[in-house]
Amino acid sequence: MRSVFITAQYLSCIRSCVARPERAFGKVRAGRGSLFCTLRSGSMEGIQEEPQGPTKCDSQPSACDNSVLSPGETVITEGRAKVIFPTANEVFYNPVQQFNRDLTCAIVAEFARLQMLGKGIQICVPGEDLVPKVQVDLSEDQEEKPEATVEKQTVPLGEKCEDGLRILEGLAASGLRSIRFALEVPAIHSIVANDRSFKAVELMKRNIQFNGVGELVTPNLADARMLMYQCRERRNCFDVIDLDPYGSPAMFLDAAVQAVSDGGLLCVTCTDMAVMAGNSGETCYSKYGAMSIKAKYCHEMALRIILHSLDLRANCYQRYIVPLLAVSVDFYVRVFVRVFSGQAKVKACASKQAFVYNCTGCGTYHLQRLGKMVSHGSSFKYSAGSGPPVGKNCEHCFQRHQVGGPIWAESIYDPDFVQRVLNAVKINPQRFKTSDRIEGVLSMVLEELPDVPLYYTLDNLGRVLHCINPSLLQFRSAILHAGHRVSLSHACKSAIKTDAPPSVIWDIMRSWEKKNPVKKERLSASSPAFHILSTEPRLQACFEVREDANPKSRKQGLKRFQQNPEANWGPKARAKAGGGISTSLAEKSKQHQNKRKYREEDQSALKSFPCKKFQQGCCTRAEDCCYSHEPVVSATAEEGP
């Protein structure tokens, strides 16, 4: 907490306020201006006498001052920020996504450290001590010289840095994320907290003043797309752009890849997982330019679809992306990419994309690169990819293939950068409330095979053959014994990532089935299990557990997958200007709830629903029908000529 300097004549007044907390939040005049002194009940913490000479005090109300709260408002504490938030659903806020915001603060802080090192600026992250850079000559031929310290400019937290990062939060809502940036990330020049909702911007202004970060954070009322399009010039570009919309970010991506500076950081959240995970492939294509399919690896495919979409839109402007980290957690995808400019590098982007051929029977998948890059000395030749890699039907179960993608087929993380973020979190675990989960997720990401795009799931392999599953360590050991690499995935608890071909995977499962036989006479002749088990395995798998089959993150018991932290956990309802849910939607939801379950008990409410068979002219129940037989009048008929 910041120290507040006041004159000695007010100390006796403050001491009396401490004895009576209900009077402890008064306005104290000090010098030319006024300030609100922050007092804890029964404590004089942060109160000191005013030193001789002029001092600078930030005008900041107390985080516990109920006088700044209107009826129906509460104070939410997250990280170092304390924000006022209305209990009505007027401005969006989801407490479950604190992991998202904590991870973003950690990554932006480490990105700022790397950016400032090139400018000779040393930053001080909360909880870390500055490490002096010392150069010592210990040669034997010369006498020991005194230590030479490399002097660097040090930027303290919370102060404006002229050479610091320019950050844009395109959809800021209450401004919580921007305020956390100002309070937790050093070396910041300015932060623009933007939203197109008037109520959100008004709430942002109060929260910025409430936290005393007006020098760094500027609220802005505008459409995020128009704001980014206006800042496409190099001198106006942002070093960091954070997009966390409600649902799909597709409409903002084109403007974002233009408004971020060369080498800048783009942070994007996607919460429309139903679309990206294969429930609506045509909608996914319209938004991201890729067809999603329903498969066991759909969560990793979702994050690779958004990486493909970002790279595709950046290529239109001779730019390309380099992923620092992409994770699929909970009910959303979060990606952190750097955007660079370079016509020569853009030519290689087609070879980084791939189509996915997925078997609808056994779940076997194959990748088909969209382009090909061949080295010719110091130059490269680019051409279209050759294929397809599979026949019309699957070679293992003779079922048909689905085609999905294109998806990003390269690595989804930078191991050096992720390791830096992980080390920073380990050094100061008290920095974030979700530090244990950040450590677990990042540790799993570092263990993933970077050149293997998708994965199998152990439960699906057993389901296809109708047999019991081998343990995770047994299956991983069998792959290692066969001479192939294997890893887990942060996107799924039972995932198996491996460079082993599908034939080896099914040979291992055939060997396992021989030890745990199924009743083949009960299998249908057209089922995938019948065709797979009809072939003798060429590889005799060894299921003896190896020491290296158990990954380090699993041995240490790191928090990799969390349980639901609260009831009704997941995406919240979209914010509404008046708060709450509209009456019509609430009534409609109530009418539809359990309408079929209790149809025989209470059929009166069903008369408000039109009968589909009556509209088709085939309902024979007449008046006995529990649904309405009134003709449906179209909107144009009601309006008249």
Q: Is the pLDDT of residue 263 over 70?
A: yes
- Whether the CA torsion 186, 187, 190, 196 is positive or negative: it is negative
Distance between CA 588 and CA 272 in Å, rounded?
23
Pair (238, 309) in one structural domain: yes
Q: Are 331 and 317 in contact (CB under 8 A)?
A: no
Cβ distance 461 to 420 under 8 Å? no
Using pLDDT thresholds of 50, 70 and 90, give the confidence band for residue 129.
low
Q: Kindly state whether residue 144 falls inside one of the protein's structural domains.
A: no
Residue with tokens 């950016």: 115
Within-domain flag for 394: no
Cis check: omega of the bond before 249, within 30 degrees of 0: no
Same domain, 120 and 252: yes
Q: Is residue 242 part of a domain?
A: yes
pLDDT in tens, 506-521: 999 999 999 988 888 8
- Asked, for residue 189, whether it belongs to a domain, the answer is yes
* Same-domain check for residues 507 and 423: no
What one-character DSSP code corresponds to residue 610?
A: B
Residues 101 and 248 in one domain: yes
For 228-232, 311-315, 405-409, 451-455, which range has the lowest pLDDT when averaged over its residues? 228-232
Average pLDDT of every residue of the chain? 80
Among 143-147, 525-529, 617-621, top mean pLDDT goes to: 525-529
- Give per-residue pLDDT as tens, 595-609: 555 544 556 667 778
Task: Extract the tokens encoding 399.
Answer: 């079922």
What distance in Å separates the CA atoms of residue 221 and residue 14, rounded to the nearest whole number? 40
Pair 72, 48: CB distance under 8 Å:
no
494 and 426 share one domain: no
Number of domains in the chain: 2
Residue 265 lies in a domain: yes
Same-domain pairing of 421 and 534: no
Choice among 53-67, 302-316, 528-542, 601-615 with the minimum mean pLDDT: 53-67
Residue 337 lies in a domain: yes
333 closest CA partner among 389, 280, 276, 372 = 276
Which pair of tokens denotes residue 30?
């000090």
Token pair for residue 58? 């930030």
Confirm whether 87 is domain-assigned.
no
Q: Same structural domain for residues 219 and 304? A: yes
CATH number at residue 116: 3.40.50.150
pLDDT of 325-357, one tens digit each?
999 988 889 999 999 999 989 999 999 999 999
The residue among 525, 556, 587 that closes a domain is 556
Residue-range definition of the domain harbouring residue 484: 455-556
Which pLDDT does position 22 carry in this prediction?
Answer: 41
More confident of the two residues 606 and 200: 200
Q: Are residues 484 and 341 in the same domain?
A: no
Is there a single domain that holds both residue 201 and residue 271?
Answer: yes
Taking the mean position of all CA atoms in its chain, how far away is CA 457? 22
Residue 112 in contact with residue 216, Cβ under 8 Å?
no
**Measured between alpha carbons, how far is residue 445 from residues 202, 439, 490 in Å?**
39, 10, 6
pLDDT level of residue 569 (50, 70, 90 thresholds): low
pLDDT at position 148 is: 41
Q: Which of 170, 191, 189 is nearest to 116 (CA)?
A: 189
Q: Are residues 301 and 429 in the same domain?
A: yes
End-of-domain residue from the set 503, 526, 556: 556
pLDDT over 70 (residue 87): no
Q: Which of 172-176, 538-542, 574-578 has the lowest mean pLDDT?
A: 574-578
Last residue of a domain, one of 528, 556, 584: 556
pLDDT at 319: 96
Residue 194 lies in a domain: yes
Give residue-wise pLDDT tens across range 15-71: 444 444 443 433 333 333 333 333 333 343 443 433 333 333 343 444 445 556 766
Burial class (CB within 10 angstroms; exposed 0-12, middle 13-18, buried 19+) of 564: exposed
Rg (CA), the chain: 30
Residue in 453, 454, 463 with CA at minimum distance from that of residue 397 = 463
Interval 494-501 mean pLDDT: 94
User: 284 and 344, same structural domain?
Assistant: yes
Cβ atoms of 407 and 353 closer than 8 Å: yes
**Residue 501: pLDDT over 50:** yes
